[in-house]
Amino acid sequence: MEFLADYASFLAKTVTLVVAIVIVLVAIASMRGKGRRRSAGQLQVTKLNDFYKALRERLEQSLLDKDRLKALRKEQAKSLKKDKKQAEPKSRVYVLDFDGDIKASATESLRHEITALLTLATDKDEVVLRLESGGGMVHSYGLASSQLARIRQAGIPLTICIDKVAASGGYMMACIGDKIISAPFAILGSIGVVAQLPNVNRLLKKHDIDFEVLTAGEYKRTLTVFGENTEKGREKFQQDLDITHDLFKNFVANYRPQLAIDEVATGEVWLGVAALDKQLVDELKTSDEYIGERAKTAEVFHLHYVQRKSLQERMGMAAAGSVDRLLLGWWSRLTQQRFW
């Protein structure tokens, strides 16, 4: 028992020391960072043709004996030499990724990636966006969609690949593509607008707590969490939602005129197979399959703009990620739900 007490005391001191060191390091980094301009990020470029080639060669080395492998390499060298003499310059395919959260935070990297490729890409090339998003804030996804529109305006073919989900704001981005390719069980659609918030005004009144909401302008605040909501405010809020929905519908219809927009703009979602029947997508295929096919006839480059983050941001992201994983793990254990 005495040993456990000593060990607990030692452990507490160690943890305290580590926390103190971390706080000091963060404080030093913060002081050094003050007054400095935020460092620019970096564009990472990976040629996916080389990546696929390395995978194939590794498999060949594992499966073929030395004689067969030597003969294969000789044949490949001859073929490569012949192709270099005869072939015209290949077109390029630029692959981008967008993994969207509620604030469409990935837009910051996307805008730089698009700016970079527009300096070189021509109408003979192609941009492929691997898109995953369930939507989020209207203005955030409006900006993300506007970034993709730059590609269309430059006359460069844009293909959107969806493996899991492109709903609401995610589909708003997807519809800009010249071609939308979806995995068979990806979730698509949700062309609608939603807003929800609690109101605790009656609870506050029950405990004799007053909460005043003062505004200048009749509709400066239509619905509130703490104040008393009125029917007039609710009607105005609903009117604003309807206007936003109409703008959403018109935006989608402009880029995909083949849609029966009133039929699909109900807020519903469909799996890829059904979405194809609704003309929400043009083809059923995974992004891996499509990009692999393009790599046979074109040079394929993956672009990723990496934002340079401060020590505080990196530590904050690591802590947030740990909390997210912990909560998700416990939620999975508690619910034991299966999704498909």
Using 50, 70 and 90 to split pLDDT, how confident is the model at 61?
confident
Nearest CA to 248 out of 104, 145, 103 is that of 145
Question: Residue 335: its pLDDT value, please?
Answer: 45
The pLDDT of residue 235: 95
Asked whether the predicted pLDDT for residue 339 surpasses 50, the reply is: no
Residues 235, 191: Cα–Cα separation, whole Å: 21
The domain segmentation of the chain, as residue ranges, is 42-63+89-191+266-306, 193-258
Residue 217 DSSP class:
S
Spatial contact of 166 and 132, defined as CB atoms under 8 Å apart? yes
Q: One of 140, 145, 168, 287 is an active-site residue; which one?
A: 168
HSE-CB of 259 using CA atoms within 13 angstroms: 22
Q: Is 182 exposed, middle or buried (0-12, 13-18, 19+ CB in 10 A)?
A: buried
Q: Please tell me the distance from the alpha carbon of residue 340 to that of residue 330, in angstroms, as a whole number.
A: 20
- Would residue 220 show up in a list of annotated catalytic residues for this protein? yes
Q: What is the DSSP string of 9-42?
A: HHHHHHHHHHHHHHHHHHHHHHHHHTTPPPPP-E
Quick one: angle between helices 2-33 and 311-335, nearest 10?
A: 130
Sign of CA dihedral 201, 205, 210, 215: positive
Neighbouring C-beta atoms of residue 104, cutoff 10 Å? 25
Q: Two tokens at 227?
A: 């104040």
269-280 per-position pLDDT tens digit: 999 999 999 999
299 neighbors 83 (Cβ within 8 angstroms): no
Q: What is the Cα–Cα distance from 176 to 339, expressed in whole angstroms?
A: 29
* Annotated catalytic residue 90: no
Its pTM stands at: 0.78
Burial of 198 (0-12, 13-18, 19+ CB in 10 A): exposed
Handedness of CA 328, 329, 335, 340 (dihedral sign): positive
What whole-number percentage of the chain has pLDDT above 90?
61
Interval 280-297: pLDDT, tens = 999 999 999 999 999 999
pLDDT value, residue 141:
97
Q: Which residues pair with 188 in a beta bridge?
A: 166, 270
Tell me the C-alpha distance between 228 and 282, whole Å: 48
Pick the catalytic residue: 66, 85, 220, 296? 220
Tokens 């005004």 sit on residue:
201
Please give the single-letter amino acid code of residue 164: K
The architecture (CATH level 2) of 42-63+89-191+266-306 comes to: Alpha-Beta Complex (3.90)
**pLDDT recorded at residue 2:** 61
